[in-house]
Structure 1
Amino acid sequence: MESLEDEIKNLIKVWITVMICLTYCYLISRNIPKGIFRFISILPIIPIFIILPLYLSWVQFAGTIGFFITWLANFKLILFSFNHGPLSSPSISFQHFISIACFPINFKQTPSTQTDNPSSQNPQSYYLMYALKGLILVLIVHAYNYKQYLHPNFVILLYCMHIYLQLELMLIVIAESVQFFLGLELEPQFNQPFLSTSLQDFWGKRWNLMVTGILRPTVYQPVQSIFMRIVGKRCAKLIALLATFVVSGLMHELIVYYLGRVWPTWEISYFFVLHGVALAVEIELKRCFRGKCDLPQLVSGPLTAGFVLVTGSWLFFPQFLRCGADVRAIREYAIIWESIMGLVKKCWDTFLGH
C-alpha cells in the first residue's frame, strides 16, 4: 500500500492525464463530424481511461477514478462521438466540457423554481440534513472498529448505508462546487432511495440517477432499437432492460477489480442480472394486472428494501469483502484522519507561535 503522499502524487498524475485526454477530445474531436470518424478519433482515449485506476492503490481513489473516468467519462465520450449526451451541446464551453466529462453531473434541462430547489427554499434545513448524514457516515466508519462484536447481517446493513451516504455526500459536494464556481444548476443524483416502493421506482427514479441517465442512451435505447425490428416493441424493451443490467454488472465488476486487483467471481454480475430479471417480471405483472393488484406503500416499501438488502448480502457484498476492500478502506480513513489532524495541529501551532 502506497503512503498517502505517494498516492496523492499518483492521483495528480492521473488527473493531469485525464485533463490532457479531455482537452484533445474537446479541441480536436469536436472539429470532426459526428459519427464513426469522430468515434475512431476518440477510441484511443477509452483504454487509457480504463488503465488509469490501476496506477492508484488506495480504495478511495481507485474506486472514485474508476467510477468517474472509466465508467461515466468513457460512456459520455461514446455518446459525444455520435453527437448525443451532455457533452454534445454546440455552445458548451471548455470548462463545462471538462466538468461534465470528469464528474457525475448533468445540467437541468429546464430551470427550476425556488420551490423545486430545497437549498434555496430552506438552506438551513438543507445543509443541516447533509451535516447529519455526514455525522452518520462518521459513526458508521467508527462502528467498523467493533464489527467483530456485531451480527454479520447488521454489518452488511452498515455497508449498504455507507455506500449510499458516501456516494450522496460526495456527489452533493461536487454538485455544489460546480454550481458555485460555474454558476450552473445541476440535476440531483439521488432521490431518497429508501422510500422506493418497487424495483422500477428504485432503479429508475431514485438510485444513482447519473448512472441511470448514462446507461439509458448508451445501452438501453440502442439495444431496444435493434431488437424492435426482430422481436417487436414489447420483447425488445425487456431485452434492452436485461442488457442494461448486464452492462451495469460488468462495470461494477471492473470497479471492484480496481479495489482488490483480484479476478472477479461474477457474483456482482449475478446480482444485477437477478435484479434485471426481477424488474422485467415486475413490469410484466404491472402490465397484466393494470394496477388492479398494487400493494399499499407500507407493504411494497419494505418488500423492495428487503429484496435489495437480501440479494446484496447474498451476491453483491461477498466479492467486495473477499478482496479486503473494506479493511483497506478503514485503514485509509484512519490515515487520512491522522493527516488532517496533524495538519490542523501544525497550523494551530504556527498560529500560536506568531
Structure 2
Amino acid sequence: MALTPRIAIDAMGGDVGVRMMLAGAAMARHKHDGLRFILVGDEVQIKAALENHPNLRAASDIIHTDGVVTGEDKPSQAIRKAKSTSMGLAIDAVKRGDAGGAVSAGNTGALMAMAKLALRTMPGIDRPALAALLPTLGDNDVVMLDLGANTECDSRNLVQFAVMGAAYSRVATGREQPRVRLLNIGSEEIKGTDEVRDAAAILRRAAGDLSMSFDGFTEADKICRGEVDVVVTDGFSGNVALKAVEGTARFVADLLKRGFSSSLRSKIGFLISKPATELLKHHLDPNNHNGAVFLGLNGIVVKSHGSANAAGVANAVAVTARLLEENVTERITADLARLGGSTLRMPRVQEESA
C-alpha cells in the first residue's frame, strides 16, 4: 500500500483543544502506524502534550502559531487572519502539498470558508458539500450530504452532490453500486420542488453511466432504515434532518435511562437488558461516526465535532486517511467525466413535458 500523505491537525480546535486533539491523533496512529502528521498550534502546548504520546511525536512535525479561530468568529473574520491561525495554517499545508488532508474541530463556518477560498472547488463542481456517515439498521452506514454548507441548491448542485456522495460511499462502505436517493417529502415522482424533481430526472438518465443505483426519492423517516446508501439534499434540509435524527437518538437514550431508574423492578430489568442497552449506546455514540468531510475541494478537509473525545478525533483522522488512500478526489473527477457537462445542462423537466 502506498504511504499515506501527512495529515495536518488543527491542534487548537475543539472544546478541549491540544490535549484531546493529540490524544485522538495518537490513537489513530496506534491503529494505523503509517500515518504521519503536521501538528499546527502553540508549540509549547503541543510539545507538552506529546510527552504522553511518543509514538505520535516520532511521526509529527510542528508548525507554531498562537493564533486561534474561536467559536464566535464569523467566517469573514477567520479569513482575514487565516495565515496566523492554527486552522488556516492547517488548510494551507494542504494547499502547498505538505499534507494530503486537514482535520479540525473548530468553527464549522470558518473552516468551510477558509477551505473553499484556499483550496477552491474541483473542476466540474460548483459548490463543495458537507458529508457525514450516519448509523443505520442495515449493514452499512449511510452517507448524507449536504449538511449545512449550502442552504439553497439548484438541480445541478444536487446532481453533483449525488456523484460526490456515491464516490464517498464506495470508499466508506465498499459497495460498488451505492443506492442513491434524493431527500423529499414523498416518494412519488410528482412530489417536491422543481429543483429536486429536475435533479431526479437527470440522475435517472445518467445513472447507467455512473457507479450508482438511483431510484428516486426517500423520506426523512427512512434515512436510518438501511434501505439507502447515500441521501442527497440541500444544506438547509440536510442540517435540519441531521439534528432531528441526533435529537431523536438522545431522546430515546434519555427516555430509556429515565425508565430504567424509575423503580426497583426497572433497575433489575436494566441489569438483565444491559448487554442490549450497551449495544444501543455504542451504536448511537456520535464519536463512532465522527468526521464530516467537505467534498468537492482540491484537497481533503474533515470536520470533527468540537465535543469529540479521543476516540472521536481518532475516527475523524481515520476518515481522512481512508479518503486519501482511496483517492476519493480522483474517483469524483472520473465520475464527473462520465456524467458529462451536457447532462448537467439538460432542459428543465417542465420544459421537456411541455
Normalising TM by the smaller chain, what interval? under 0.3
- Which structure is higher in strand share? 2
Q: TM-score, normalised by structure 1?
A: 0.23
Q: TM-score, normalised by structure 2?
A: 0.23
